[in-house]
Amino acid sequence: MGSRRFWTLVRGHLRAYLLGYAAAVGAVAAAQVSPWVLRGAVDRLQHAAPAVEALAAALLGLALVEAAFSYAMRWQILGAAFRIEAQLREELFAHLQRLDATFFHRWRTGDLMARAVSDVRAVQRFAGVGLMRSFHTALMVTSSVAFMLATSPRLTAVTMGILPGATVLFVVLGRQVHRRFERVQERLSDLSVLGQENFSGIRVVKAFAREALEVRRFRASAEELARAQVHLARVQGALWPAVGLVLGTAAVALLWEGGQLVASGQLTLGQLVQFSYYLARLSFPMIAAGWVLNLWQQGRTSMARLEEVFRAKPQVQDPPVPVVLPQVQGEVEFRGVWFAYDGRFVLRGVDLHIPAGRTVALVGPTGSGKTTLVSLVPRLFDPSRGAVLLDGVDLRRLPLRTVRKAVGFVPQDPFLFSDTLLANVAFGAADEAQAREAMRVAGLLKDLSQLPERERTVVGERGVSLSGGQRQRAALARALAQDPRVLILDDALSSVDAQTEAEIVAELRRWLRSRTAVVITHRLAALEEVDWIVVLAGGRVAEQGTHRDLIRQGGVYAELYEQQRLRELLEAEAP
């Protein structure tokens, strides 16, 4: 395995590996002395010599010593491998946390989950069983061949002319194992993605009665995985019979040649038993060699898949020499901002200045770039050209922690963790009292009586037990609890009824005193009291001004306002 990261992890647990390898030396030494004792016992039995009991006790003692050293070897090396697995998984998770939104737009969640679970486990198996057995096997093979030569060079030449055939088989089949295991991991990623998407979107699946179709899709994907695993098993399964065939052939050659040597008096019966014992001792190392080769191929494939993720670098990073703001005031400026998704520009030269403490609304047709523009303020993305400034300083010169702490962001699609309502709101808060005050401002307190355990109610994955409006208000409360200097609401009350929205807006006005707010909404009637309105169209600022000014101008805003008013009238008159 050529991964520098893997060997760095192993070096971090070098003491455990050295102790394990030292124990392996002790286990092999005890194992290799046993045939000499057995040889003496057989030869003495031939001559009716006494003290067989002492030889039997010696064999039992050697077996106990070998078992004790083998236990110590496993304890040290396998324990280190499990710690490496935990460390690798922690490093992968921490790395994923540092990556920006662009990465997660390109990678599928199920694929990342498969790598974090299945591939990390494959690396752990090689770090444990693989490295343990590779050393133990090499030591056992080397020492066994040496003792076999000392016993009978002729028998060694005969048997060792056959055994290397197993190595050739391992090399040939190992290449197939590598390719087919890689295919298995790809199919596993596809299956994980399909399962994750279905579980996350179960409401949509049921709403459109797509259960049977999704079951068929999942079955087809599971069958693809099963076929890939069967293809892998065919190659892996061929290793063990191949080893058995080679060792069986070697055993036949030993009996044929060794019997002749004993009959001619060139070898004692005890020496033949001793030699056969060493040959038998080679059986498991030869099988282990194939096992280690499989683990190495799988571990190499999995580590390469993990390195793909580790090589991904966040496009949004902390500056090498950050500027420290003593206190954030909340002044936001977009200066010649352009932004592109996959080479397609959605923002084109936006210039906009928002003084500290002002509430500004962003409106415009769907696809005009509103969400993209506000996503630049907490540095979820960085502009392709131009700059976004906070208190006159380019955001790219400020520490990310400072920016994220200063900016509260409520997205269109709120996400809640499978935890209590209070824990979700207190996610970025200093204490629970602050979180409860944020819940009051967001209008959540009156809903607590509907929940079985009030604010201690577990809301389920993505807040499934709450209504759409309650999820939006919980997300709003979470942002408020952070006590940001800049608050961004991206259509954050679209699922709230008009009366509740009016109550929340009234509370927000009091809360927003001396704070900056950027609000995206499609309810234009709610903008009459907003300080300033900016209209985006085609990724550019088309108009800006107060509600009355924009209505008088008769431009894009006035047209959008009239269309919405007529739509509301038609809905009100509909039976």
Domain boundary assignment for the chain: 4-311, 332-573
Query: Which of 3.40.50.300, 3.40.50.2300, 3.90.1150.200, 1.50.10.20 is the CATH number of 332-573?
Result: 3.40.50.300
pLDDT tens digit string along 440-452?
888 888 878 788 8
Distance CA 525, CA 498 (A): 11
Distance CA 351, CA 23 (A): 70
Q: What is the pLDDT of residue 171?
A: 65
Distance CA 202, CA 192 (A): 15
- The pLDDT-based confidence of 477 (bands split at 50, 70, 90) is confident
Do residues 37 and 53 make contact, with C-beta atoms less than 8 angstroms apart? no
Tokens of 88: 């690798």
Q: What is the pLDDT of residue 434?
A: 82
Tell me: domain 4-311, CATH 3.40.1110.10, correct?
A: no
Comparing 552 with 574, which gets the higher pLDDT?
552
Helix (H) or strand (E) run with residue 234 in it: helix 211-263
pLDDT tens digit string along 459-469?
777 777 777 77
Distance CA 134, CA 132 (A): 6
Query: Phi/psi of residue 35, each to 5°?
Result: -60, -30
pLDDT tens digit string along 67-92?
999 999 999 999 999 999 999 999 99
Give pTM, 2 decimals: 0.73
Q: Where are the alpha helices (DSSP H) in 457-555?
A: 468-481, 498-511, 547-553
In this prediction, residues 207-231 reach a mean pLDDT of 83
Distances (CA, A) of 373 to 88, 107, 125, 345, 411: 36, 23, 47, 12, 12
What is the average pLDDT value for the chain, to the nearest integer? 83
Do residues 118 and 185 make contact, with C-beta atoms less than 8 angstroms apart? yes
